[in-house]
Structure formats: structure tokens, C-alpha cells
Amino acid sequence: MRTRNKLLHCALALAIGTALSGPFTANAMDASDAPDLITIDSLTNLYGPVEFDHAMHADLADCALCHHHTTGIPAQDPNCLRCHATSGEADTVACADCHTADRFNKDYLESLDDPMLYHVDKPGLKGAYHINCIGCHVEVGAPSGCQDCHVMNDSGQQMFKTGDYAPDPQDHNNGGH
């Protein structure tokens, strides 16, 4: 019930802000449609998915903190404001809609209006998650270590040479580091 009230307050604030800021546009974010739980699985090649408790986080922070200017509230980051100072609401609020998983993909680079005006200051999807999540977690004293949120799978253990794939400690006694 508390989560629903918080989301309704957020939706009301967005609706009022939109009405006061200019011509009416449809809200990109409808509080009643916001999921309680979001599965973040962009690193499943190395880690299990992260079950993000959206409802709990919505109780702790304003929507625009994570969703930047997608909610109709102007961007706060000076890098974003250079181009998006007058941008209205986005049609969607998903991180992946602005932060691509593979920023150096040929198709993505060709999709830009001006590939020479590349968003060098806009992080990719994983960077956006980590900058937002870790920064806030450190600030409020919440878990911020890699495996606090990510459970490494077998492929991750192989890549990082840990768990079942960790080197034998006795091998380091033979002139190793």
C-alpha cells in the first residue's frame, strides 16, 4: 500500500509538472504500470540475473533520480543538459532505451544522427546501472560489492579464475607473485 501511494504521489507530481511546463503531452511513466520487481540480466554470460526491487527503491527516491529526463523533469547532469535542456518526456523509461548495451556496435553508431557528435559522456547500459546503483548504495551505506548483487555463474568463475577455477595456492610458492 505504501509503495502504491508513493508511486501515485510521483505520478501526481509529474502530471502537475507537465501541465505547468507547457503543452500537454502523454506521461511516459504511469505509476500504476510500474513493475514491483525488475530482472536485470545483461550480464548473464558471467553472472546470474539481478532481481531489482523497484517498489522498494521507488519508496526511497524520486523517480527522476534514476529515470533522468524521461519523466518530463529536466535533466540535472550538465553533460545531458547541453543537448537535452528542452527535451520533453521520453516515450519510455527503460534504461536500455537510452543506454545501449553495446556502444561500439556498428549498427548503433550508424543509427546516430551525427556519428561525429557521439555521446562520449553517456555511459553504456552496464555503466549506467553501475554509476547509478553503486554511487547511491555507497552514499546510503547499502551493499556495493560486485557479488552483493551479482552471483557469479560457471562462465564467470572460468573467466575470472575463481571458485572451482581458482589457481592452486601452492602454485604461487614456486616463484609466482
Nearest one of 86, 87, 89 to 67, comparing CA atoms: 89
CA 70 to each of CA 28, 95, 103, 152, 167: distance values in angstroms, whole numbers, following the listed order: 7, 10, 20, 32, 46
Is residue 146 part of an annotated ligand binding site?
Answer: yes
Q: Scanning the structure block, which residue is given the C-alpha cell 522498494?
A: 56
Is residue 80 part of an annotated ligand binding site?
Answer: no
Is residue 150 part of an annotated ligand binding site?
Answer: yes
Is residue 63 part of an annotated ligand binding site?
Answer: yes
Which residues, including other chains, have CB under 8 Å from residue 23's CB and lie 6 or more apart? Answer: none
Is residue 99 part of an annotated ligand binding site?
Answer: no
Is residue 54 part of an annotated ligand binding site?
Answer: yes
CA 4 to the chain's CA centroid = 22
Nearest one of 57, 2, 55, 10 to 31, comparing CA atoms: 10
Is residue 68 part of an annotated ligand binding site?
Answer: yes
Is residue 66 part of an annotated ligand binding site?
Answer: yes
Is residue 136 part of an annotated ligand binding site?
Answer: yes
Q: What radius of gyration, in Å, describes the C-alpha atoms of the chain?
A: 20
Is residue 133 part of an annotated ligand binding site?
Answer: yes
Q: Residue positions in the annotated binding site?
A: 54, 57, 63, 66-68, 83, 133, 136-137, 146, 149-150
Q: Show binding-site residues for heme c.
A: 54, 57, 63, 66-68, 83, 133, 136-137, 146, 149-150
